[in-house]
């Protein structure tokens, strides 16, 4: 989740952030740990990602 927080500090607006966030999500999926609502809730709880960034992450 730390990676998603780090890459989301600009709302996942640039390609580098989106690519790296996608890699983190792929890793979570490969480990069987990807639950969309859990991930979005955990990232939202950090307070480091904007509402728009969370919407982008959820796509």
In this prediction, residue 30 carries a pLDDT of 92
Note down the domain range covering 35.
2-57
Decide: pTM greater than 0.75.
Answer: no
The domain tally of the chain equals 1
Does 41 score more than 80 pLDDT?
A: yes
CA distance 45 to 20: 20
pLDDT tens track for 46-57 = 888 899 988 988
CA distance 4 to 22: 9
Residue 42 CB neighbour total at 10 angstroms: 13
Q: What is the mean pLDDT of residues 10-32?
A: 85
């Amino acid at each position: 989740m730390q990676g998603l927080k780090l890459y989301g500090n600009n709302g996942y607006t640039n390609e580098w952030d989106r690519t790296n966030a996608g890699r983190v999500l792929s890793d979570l999926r490969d480990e069987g740990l990807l639950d969309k609502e859990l991930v979005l809730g955990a990232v939202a709880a950090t307070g480091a990602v904007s509402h728009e960034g969370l919407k982008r992450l959820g796509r």
